[in-house]
Amino acid sequence: MKRQRWARSSTWVAVGMLVGLHASAWSMCSEDLGSLTNGRSARPAARPTVTLDAPASDPVQQLSPTEQLASLVKEAVLRSNQIGAARLIADASLDDVVEARGAELPRLTVGGTVGQQMQAINGGNRDATLNASGGFSLGGVLWDAGRTAALTAYRKELSNAARFSLQAAQEQVALETISAALERARYRQQAQVYQQFSRKMACLVDALTQIVAEDRGRASELVQARKSQLQAELSRDAAMAQGRQAEIRLRKLVGDQVALGEGYPVSLVQTPNPDEVRLLMRRAGDVMQIQAQADAGERFAKAAEAATRPQLSWVANSSLSKVGDVKAVSVTAGVSISHTLFDGRAAESAAAAAAKRAMATRQQYEETIKLRQARITEIHDVAETSMDRARRYVEVLKDSERVRTATFQQWSQLGKRSLFDVMSSESDHFGLRVAYVNALFDGYQANAQLRSLAGGLTAWLGVGAVQAN
């Protein structure tokens, strides 16, 4: 009887020790529970752990999220060689317009010669005399069926196309910069979630290490907890690696000297109205570029057709020559007409080809509009779906928080749940947090694309007039 009482007493002592160890596990790891409830766990506070972040005392931290993005995009525009090349091409196209306009003005040319003139008659006496002549010519086009005006308009439209190409290049750089910044923030938040998951598993490993020291039958739970901890660390390291790659892309665009504060992604939380995007999409740089190219093609077709018509010009010439002691002056003024009667239908074929190219460019423009409208509908659906999914994850995370808290309490304090239930609830909860982060940043990316499709990113950020190097 004494042996039985001693055995029962030893059993209760062992149970008490295990309960105490479970309570210790609860005190070690419960601080991770409920710290970010009501959906706040899905949006962990960003920590400045990379060198691109601004220090807490930096003025960048005082800027609004939109101002931070504007500063980032402005620096990318200043550094972009692509934009610099587009600006040079736009400037060159303005010189082409000046050249084309010069053909509409009268042309004045001057010339002259000075030299010795020698004559020999029948091999006899040779006579050398000074020969000098000079004169000028002034002329212009009276009528050319509008060819010169059409060529000037053609150059103007090409200049517009180059200017819109510059605008499109700025928009492309802006979207690329914002996308890289958003991806960097996405993976940083993912890494923070996985870090918290890893820390929670580390707490369980520490607690189970003490439990297994008293109860070897719980060794499998310790192995499972260590496995979950290693998996969380692998996921964290993978997210950090992707974040570093996104930061490399961002640094390529903005350099190393630009500081970036916190919270800038929330400036893209609002989804633009699709009807407004469709209304503004025709103002996008790439769309207006194609439209200008189509207009240029039509102007060139008119010029090519006018080349088949007669051309009427006026001309005035004056010359002065001196041979020896003999002087001569001549003055000529009049009107000239020229027209090609036969050239193997070269001019007519050139005009027909120009007209067909203009029609082809116009159809490309219409096709671009159709594709842009479909793309806007698609991206808007992605944005709405992503943001709705993120809002619903917040509600799911509230329930998940309650489940994981209750499960951990039941395991650590009451012994009614297994460790596998605890790890399952933890894995499910942190998986939901990562899914929330992904849904939220999918929405941010889609909203940025919508503004870009409407040609509004640079205008929205107020960096459209930035001059690139």
Give the model's pLDDT for residue 257.
65
**What are 367-381's pLDDT values in tens digits?**
999 999 999 999 999
Report the chain's terminal Cα–Cα distance, integer Å: 96
Alpha carbon 141 to its chain centroid, in Å, reads 48
Q: Letter for the amino acid at 26?
A: W
What pLDDT does residue 223 have?
Answer: 86
Protein fold of 2-106+165-291+362-461: Outer membrane efflux proteins (OEP) (1.20.1600)
pLDDT of residue 46: 35
Sites in the chain below the pLDDT cut of 70: 1-62, 117-128, 257-259, 324, 414-415, 464-469
Domain spans, the chain: 2-106+165-291+362-461
pLDDT score recorded for residue 43: 37
How confident is the model at residue 317, as a pLDDT? 86
pTM confidence score:
0.78
The reported pLDDT for the residue numbered 386 is: 95
Distances (CA, A) of 296 to 60, 139, 158, 328: 45, 28, 6, 50
